[in-house]
A and B are shown apart, each in its own frame.
Chain A
């Protein structure tokens, strides 16, 4: 936040070099991850943390309790938080361009509410029971895909996916899916209802190494596509007609961006539940640091989003230790005031002055 505030006081004449921003964000990520792995019911020093990581990576056997805590419990948890943070921040930056609205977030287009229906059905009705621990993920990703398909089908018009229609259809269908979730909870038993509630607010408590490959691959594939398109994203930020005049196939670009962001958000929800505000607030903070050029926003957003989420998860499991707070509560408590400060300090961004 220090960086963001400095950026507000003196509008930079020239942007900070990207390499510098990325290095700073990378250092921040390493520090937050080290803290995230070190702090817990058994506190470990950064030296101990890195000793275990180095010996595991280099293949030396280490069966101490410390090694087990670090390698089997905390490292996968921190990595999952980082992946989900990066995915939500990236999806958020892109959705904001897709609908040309700085207040959009990756869950705007119905993904999260569709995923809740799927996850709730698993938890309350025992759907996909044969999949065991993967049942909730399977249920939520199917729900997210269904919601995505519904929003896509309903908001398509002669000109492809128009921003206003996307927003309205997303909001309306989200409301519909949420009422389905409410109905399922209403019909379910109280015990199962509590686990639904916990899932809906998001948690990395069940993180394991098995859970990492799919989100990691999805994030990598999405980032490759988005970085290749970063220049055309800038053109799309000008609006559909100016982008067309710049030689961009707007209809195809919007369709692809919709699919990529929905899939990223859907996978994030499937592995960690619905964690709000990260996809909304992180893109704003990143734009304050590096400007709106997406060739800068996207890489910085990955690193900063990851750090933000690792820190959020650290707070979630230490503030009321030994209990764990749902991380959605933490991100909302950090995110909402941050956003309000941003909105009040930069009114022109939202068309209030001009």
Chain B
């Protein structure tokens, strides 16, 4: 159990967003956090990387309290790739990845040989060597995510937190980014929006709704029509992926073309859509 949360509760502006969740990302595995918007996925991740403070519960790294570590030490063990955000500042790809060395640098620190070799290896592992001559701001969304993965690797962390890293990306780059991450061999805890995509990559998954974990386990046991209806209030068909056998979700229309009500779905069974955050 290398990265885990125990009975974690988080309040934001006096409101309880996450209530007593427990979860674990096993060593070297790809663990998914799934659930509708506002279900607490991001909040949990941001508590692990110290943007939010827990109201109760603990975050453990190899059994020790992660949040009790000095921030720099924690950043050497746990790195984050979030959704790409626009930057007003012009950094080259290499400079961007070098920023990942921040938790290893001392005051006045220049780039040491160790920094340079860590950056070179990170760029190679993330497969973004061809982007090195370019300026970060000129890259496409998918290319930026590759560079941010390299930056996280340059931190030297063996745990990677992904917060919806494939949002706004096209289908090729969605798969490519997750493929790169899965091949790294590090422990991954990822909030993902696309459930079928998550099923392709996650060894285990947690389904959240209303700030609570409602189900956890291998994707095939978590992504079932009743669980999806409970978490999202949506009616889906689940088939097996022809290549991998992993669950693949197919959405169904709320109002079918022939106007006749279908069994198993009525207005009463569809809760109001969850609050956007």
Chain A residues proximal to chain B, CB less than 8 Å: 11, 13-15, 96-97, 100-102, 158, 227-232, 234-235, 237-242, 244-249, 287, 291-293, 295, 348-351, 354
Residues of A within 8 A of B91 (CB): 234, 237, 291-293
Cβ-defined partner of A232 (8 Å) among B49, B78, B90, B102: B102
Taking a contact as CB atoms under 8 Å apart, the answer to whether B89 and A245 are in contact is: no
Please report the number of residue pairs spanning A and B whose Cβ atoms sit closer than 8 angstroms. Answer: 97
Q: B75 is contacted by which of A101, A227, A247 (Cβ under 8 Å)?
A: A247
Q: Which single member of A101, A158, A241, A247 contacts B72 (CB below 8 Å)?
A: A247
Docked-complex contact A287 and B90, CB < 8 angstroms: yes
Within 8 A of A (CB), among B89-134: 89-92, 95, 99-100, 102-103, 105, 107-110, 133
Give Cα A244–Cα B67 distance, bound, in whole angstroms.
12
Q: Determine whether the beta carbon of A11 is less than 8 Å from that of B135.
A: yes
Interface status of B80 (Cβ within 8 A of chain A)? yes
Q: Are A241 and B102 in contact, with the CB atoms below 8 A?
A: no
Identity of the chain A residue whose Cβ is nearest the Cβ of B163 in the assembled complex: A241
Inter-chain CA distance A293–B136, complex, in Å, is 13
User: Do residues A244 and B102 form an inter-chain contact, with CB atoms below 8 A?
Assistant: no
Given A242-B82, A291-B91, A348-B137, answer yes or no on A227-B108 (Cβ-Cβ < 8 Å): yes
Interface centre among A14, A293, A349, A350 (most CB of B within 10 A): A293
Q: List 14 A-B contacts (CB under 8 A).
A: A13-B133, A101-B88, A227-B108, A231-B105, A237-B91, A238-B87, A241-B46, A244-B50, A244-B51, A246-B155, A247-B71, A248-B71, A291-B95, A349-B88
Q: How far is the CB of B50 from chain A (nearest CB, A)?
A: 5
CA distance A310 to B62 in the complex (A): 58
Encode contact with A along B44-81: 1 for CB under 8 Å, 0 otherwise. Answer: 00100111000000000000000000111111101110
Within 8 A of A (CB), among B202-252: none
Q: Which residues from A are CB-within-8-Å of B138?
A: 11, 348
Say yes or no for B260: interface residue by CB 8 A criterion: no
Which residues of B are in contact with A by a Cβ distance under 8 Å?
A: 13, 46, 49-51, 70-76, 78-80, 82, 85-92, 95, 99-100, 102-103, 105, 107-110, 133, 135, 137-138, 155, 161
A96–B46 Cα distance when bound, in Å, is 25
Shortest Cβ distance from residue B95 to the other chain A in the assembled complex, whole angstroms: 5
User: Contacts A239-B85, A291-B92, A295-B110 given: A246-B102 contact, CB under 8 Å?
Assistant: yes
User: Taking A239-B85, A245-B75 as contacts, is the C-beta distance between A292 and B49 under 8 angstroms?
Assistant: no
A241-B49, A247-B75, A249-B71 given; 19 more Cβ-contact pairs under 8 Å: A15-B92, A97-B89, A100-B88, A102-B89, A229-B107, A234-B95, A234-B99, A235-B102, A238-B99, A241-B46, A242-B85, A244-B71, A245-B82, A247-B71, A248-B102, A292-B90, A293-B91, A295-B110, A348-B137
Interface-centre pick from A14, A227, A292, A348 (highest chain B CB count, 10 A): A292
A244 to B102: give the CA distance in the assembly, Å: 11
> A245 contacts which of B73, B79, B92, B108 (Cβ < 8 Å)?
B79
- For the complex, give the distance between the alpha carbons of A101 and B88 in Å: 7
Which residues of chain B are near A292, meaning CB under 8 Å?
Answer: 89-91, 95
Tell me whether A237 and B89 are in contact (CB under 8 A).
yes
Nearest B-chain residue to A102, judged by Cβ:
B88
A351 touches B102 (CB 8 A): no
A228 touching B49 by the CB < 8 A rule?
A: no
Contact present for B86 and A351 (CB under 8 Å)? yes
Are the C-beta atoms of A245 and B80 separated by less than 8 Å? Answer: yes
Contact of B82 with A241 in the complex, beta carbons under 8 Å: yes
The answer for the CA separation of A228 and B95 in the assembled complex, in Å, is 18
What is the CB-to-nearest-CB distance from A255 to chain B, in angstroms, rounded to a whole number?
16
Q: Chain B residues with Cβ under 8 A from A245's Cβ?
A: 49-51, 75, 78-80, 82, 161
Contact B90 A291 (CB under 8 A): yes
A238 CB contacts on chain B under 8 angstroms? 87, 99
How many angstroms between the C-alpha atoms of A11 and B155 in the bound complex? 28
Select the residue from A237, A238, A245 with max chain B CB neighbours within 10 A: A245
Chain A hits for B102, CB < 8 A = 231-232, 234-235, 246-248
Please give the distance in Å from B202's CB to the nearest CB on chain A: 22
Q: Which residues of B contact A244 (CB under 8 A)?
A: 49-51, 71
Q: Which B residues are in CB contact (< 8 Å) with A350? A: 88
Given A232-B102, A246-B99, A351:B82 Cβ within 8 A:
no
